[in-house]
Structure 1
């Protein structure tokens, strides 16, 4: 029997990453996502992940909420509001290195854990046709920083330093380590 986990997120990417790690994933309603507040990327992502966490205790199986933020210096990018916002994000990231920070709020029994993982991504210098093609794909929708590295967005990327799964939306290795600390093995 697979170990199970409750996921307070509608992200199909997070669900797929946890399923690939051996979990039966149950998507549960989380609380509404608050707006992203400017400031430190780790603190901003942790605030959103914690705010998404349902108020109930998770006694029978772990409960996880997460949020991903893209940081370009002091500028924070969440999900784009529309195509124009996505285009502005992509041009800002073009030819530059940025951080992808995913914060995780984890609850199991009486224990709570909160942590954030940072990966560095460098975009290649983008061209007008490349940006137009990517925007036409619609892949930017519902993605922090307006790109998904696990799809067509990989064509925008020159390099990744750190956790690839973190850039997708969940630092799986770190989540598994936290669960093992609670005695919960996948």
Structure 2
């Protein structure tokens, strides 16, 4: 049985979600070059992309754990992406790109996919959560105001469901916590299989 896990993520939302279900964790912050792993390969589906990136991030975290000589414990990694049709919408690089993404999502239904992977020793477990989110139509003024709040930056699809964007979301079908960045049902199942107490 493990008393704690390592969370290999900089996301405050993932920390909050683990705390919500009583998981003891220590941060194993990914190296700066981890962002470079998020490049989409030509013709790659959203599900394949998010699983691959999560696996690569977990590999990097495990190398870090070994290099730092930290105590052995399960390492949890996750990655979230937004897909509109077959197109993957990553994190906006600048405010104008955030507005472009929002204008495409407005009045449409899109998918949010979060992959999780958990490893201890040579044993690796993984899962994928897929949800559908419908945005209401948005005016240019609403988009400008939302982008000016700074909330879209650093978030896949240029929005955070747990923040101000909630007022533009007409419906969701799937996992709210998965859309936030860590599907708790799947996460709890994997932690249980790995013998983590929580």
2:116 partner SS:
strand
- Tell which has more relative contact order, 1 or 2 (C-alpha 8 A, sep 6+): 2
TM-score normalised over the length of structure 2:
0.87
Structure 1 spans left out of the alignment, 5+ residues:
none
| Structure 1 partner of 2:145 | 133
Q: Does 1:142 align with 2:151?
A: no
| Structure 1 partner of 2:12 | 12
1:165 partner SS:
helix
Structure 2 spans left out of the alignment, 5+ residues:
none
Q: Does 1:41 align with 2:46?
A: yes
Q: Where do 1:51-130 residues align within 5 Å?
A: 51-53=56-58, 54-56=61-63, 60-130=72-142
Q: Verify the 8 A CA contact 1:103 1:114 in the aligned structure 2.
A: yes
Alpha-carbon offset, residue 183 of structure 1: 2.4
Runs of 4+, deviation exceeding 4 Å:
56-59
Q: Verify the 8 A CA contact 1:9 1:28 in the aligned structure 2.
A: yes
Write 1 or 2 for the structure with the bigger share of strand. Answer: 1
Write 1 or 2 for the structure with the bigger share of helix. Answer: 2
1:68 partner SS:
strand
Q: Verify the 8 A CA contact 1:8 1:29 in the aligned structure 2.
A: yes
| Structure 2 partner of 1:26 | 26
Alpha-carbon offset, residue 122 of structure 1: 0.4
Q: Separation in 2 of the partners of 1:30 and 1:71?
A: 24
Q: Verify the 8 A CA contact 1:69 1:100 in the aligned structure 2.
A: yes
Q: Does 1:164 align with 2:167?
A: no
